[in-house]
Amino acid sequence: MLPRGREGKIGNSKESPVNLWIVTSANTPSPHTAAEPADASEQMRIRMEKRSKLIERGTEAYPVGVERTHSLAEIREKYAHLEADETTGDIVGVTGRVVFVRNTGKLCFATLQEGGVDGKGVRLQAMLSLANVGEETLADWKALVDLGDHVFIKGEVISSRRGELSVMADSWSMASKALRPLPVLHAELNEETRVRQRYVDLMVRDEAREMVYTRAAITRSVRDTLDRRGYVEVETPILQLVHGGATARPFETHMNAFDQKMTLRIATELFLKRAVVGGIDRVYDMGRVFRNEGVDSTHSPEFTTLECYEAWADQFVMAERMKEIILNVADVVGTRTIQTDAGEIDLDGEWAWVAVYPGLSEAIGEEITPDTTVAELQAIAAKHEVKVDPKWDAEKLVVELFGEIVEPTLLNPTFVYNYPPSAQPLARPHREDGRLIEAWDLIIGGMERGTAFSELIDPVIQRERLTEQSRRSAAGDVEAMQLDEDFLRALEYGAPPMGGIGLGIDRLVMLFTGAGIRKPSCSHSSSPKGTDHGIHCRSCTVRCCRTSLLVCHEGYLQRGQIRAPSRSPRPGRSRIRNCQACGRRLNTCQIALSRGRSRRFNSAFDGAFDGVPCAGR
């Protein structure tokens, strides 16, 4: 039954009474009956009791709004001139998260914090005195306010005796009661918390918030550069029937409306090229792509890419576009010189060009050409301790050898060009040597940052290459492209000569901040917590459990329970010693890491994460 007087009617209707339930403290369910989080601690229970007390007395614990007149930053700017022990007579209403509190007998102090325009937290002191707020209000403050709460303070702007800009409260109210204790601000969060609870990291560290603002400035700069060049931004589909545009394993999903299997996009390339065919001569898309592959400090299953295409351009024009984009980003960030552990990167210096075959030849001290045999390349790989798959052909071996031996040594900006055709199936044949393609990768700091082609527009050759890719897919290559008939149909209408760029935005942010690929983002880790993925060691056939992420280049698991030595025998490999979950000893197990453009593992290690528990558990 509804309380009496709660029934009413809409309009002139006399036949359809409508029950209008008005929520009051009298009919609100008891706060003590609220569900409790599964991980509730004693501190959380105490805080929930304080929330209940606020509601029981008719006070909002989470009001829709408060009478805020100024931000903390505005107070700081407007009253920065105040001398010690000076008053203003100005009454303001401010809000902030309580990050410090000191309650004494008749005078309480609190430090409020809010996010600043550049990510740095802005703080302001609040003071509550017995003379100003009264005994009951001061007692409520002491009893109900905890670190982490958002509070509203109304009072006069003053400078304390020690010269601290403050608001002397006439009244206060709760703006949002925090039920979980605030992390200790001066203590470092562990990596697990930073990754899985990004909001906590943002809450307590200025550096984490500044990273978000830096990323926003970088993406804005990239867009501004392209907009000034006359590019048009478009949005390409994320759900796709046919995956293509890159050699990568897609995520699969299902559209119930059409009972249709679909994939999340692994690249935006093919739809952007369709736009160029349609007459949009300069076009780009900056968005998330998804690749169902490995995770480490430089690879993420979902990441942001820029792809742009320009009619009547080639790989050399696109190199100038790439250089312009990166230098403009450097100016926004504030430096064209980047300090790294490997040395100083000078973006104002020469942007060198290194061809794949001559560059590899110089590094190993013997000539490598497109005619070098598979056996010779396998011998070179063994000599330089580069792990390879016996199934790889000569072109794949050359690309992997260059990536393992030469690429890590390229500190300053270097365009690596003249790749073998299989490296990029969507690039056009070289205008002078048909054994090569017109494509480059930009290496900065020993890592690939972007790529570009003189795009393949011949529909006949493109069909041949995609048909070969589809054969590989049918044979079990999960990263091979599928045959996209609609894309080929578009090319058959006639595409103008064009150049295209692919730039990893996350890696661009990494270049200027030194952070891992996941840290510049607000999102949290998507890897399941406490899941046994299982590693199968190829050298000793022992399966080990609880490895939630892969080995990173420093030689340890970023998360998970397998311990490795602090020193790695070579960048990209690590000898696993024992399983911390079960204690089983493992024998010189090695996990190959990706440094390549699309694959996350050497194929000899494909299927390593099979979820089989360790035999020692």
Instruction: For 374-433, write each residue's pLDDT tens digit.
Output: 999 999 999 999 999 898 999 999 999 999 999 999 999 999 999 998 888 888 999 999
Based on the fold, state whether residues 334 and 215 are members of the same structural domain: yes
- Quote the CA–CA distance of 606 and 387 in Å, as a whole number: 13
Based on the fold, state whether residues 144 and 101 are members of the same structural domain: yes
**Averaged pLDDT for residues 260-279:** 94
CA R_g for the chain? 30
* pLDDT of amino acid 472: 83
Domain span at 234 = 206-348+451-513
* pLDDT of amino acid 525: 53
Q: Is the pLDDT of residue 247 over 60?
A: yes
Based on the fold, state whether residues 54 and 137 are members of the same structural domain: yes
8 Å CB contact between 511 and 444: yes
Final residue of a domain: which of 463, 491, 513? 513
pLDDT tier for residue 356 given thresholds of 50, 70 and 90: very high
Final residue of a domain: which of 513, 543, 564? 513
Lowest mean pLDDT: which of 82-86, 315-319, 521-525? 521-525
Q: Which residue has the higher pLDDT, 108 or 5?
A: 108
* pLDDT of amino acid 476: 80
Lowest mean pLDDT: which of 274-283, 284-293, 442-451, 591-600? 591-600
Structure tokens that stand for 195 in this block: 């990754």
* pLDDT of amino acid 556: 32
Based on the fold, state whether residues 210 and 343 are members of the same structural domain: yes
Q: Is the pLDDT of residue 278 over 80?
A: yes
**Averaged pLDDT for residues 61-86:** 95
Please give the model's pTM, rounded to 2 decimal places: 0.76
Final residue of a domain: which of 123, 148, 182? 182
* pLDDT of amino acid 503: 95
Based on the fold, state whether residues 615 and 543 are members of the same structural domain: yes
Based on the fold, state whether residues 136 and 238 are members of the same structural domain: no
Residue 36 lies in a domain: no
What b/e sequence results for 90-123 when a residue is b if at least 16 CB atoms lie within 10 Å of its CB, and e otherwise?
eebbbbbbbbebeeeeeebbbbbbbbbeebebbb
Residue 499 lies in a domain: yes
Based on the fold, state whether residues 60 and 157 are members of the same structural domain: yes
* pLDDT of amino acid 258: 92
What residues have CB less than 8 Å from 243, skipping those under 6 apart?
250, 263, 265, 266, 481, 482
Residue 421 lies in a domain: no
* pLDDT of amino acid 570: 40
Residue 380 lies in a domain: no
Residue 27 lies in a domain: no
Number of domains in the chain: 3
* pLDDT of amino acid 403: 93
CB count in 10 Å sphere of residue 342: 11
Based on the fold, state whether residues 335 and 481 are members of the same structural domain: yes
CATH number at residue 139: 2.40.50.140
Based on the fold, state whether residues 177 and 231 are members of the same structural domain: no
Based on the fold, state whether residues 260 and 233 are members of the same structural domain: yes
Lowest mean pLDDT: which of 262-271, 337-346, 478-487? 478-487
Give the whole-number percent of the chain exceeding pLDDT 90. 60
Q: Is the pLDDT of residue 150 over 60?
A: yes
Say how many residues make up the chain: 617
**Averaged pLDDT for residues 455-475:** 89
Q: Is the pLDDT of residue 80 over 70?
A: yes
* pLDDT of amino acid 426: 84
* pLDDT of amino acid 511: 92
Residue 375 lies in a domain: no
Based on the fold, state whether residues 342 and 479 are members of the same structural domain: yes
CATH number at residue 254: 3.30.930.10
* pLDDT of amino acid 194: 79
Residue 560 Ramachandran class (φ > 0 left, ψ -120 to 50 alpha, else beta): left
Residue 14 lies in a domain: no
3-state secondary structure 350-392: CCEEEEHHHHHHHHHCCCCCCCCCHHHHHHHHHHCCCCCCCCC
Based on the fold, state whether residues 115 and 254 are members of the same structural domain: no
* pLDDT of amino acid 452: 95
8 Å CB contact between 273 and 254: no
**Mean pLDDT over the full length of the chain:** 80
pLDDT tens column, 514-571: 876 555 555 555 555 544 333 433 333 333 433 333 333 233 333 333 333 333 334 4
Residue 5 lies in a domain: no
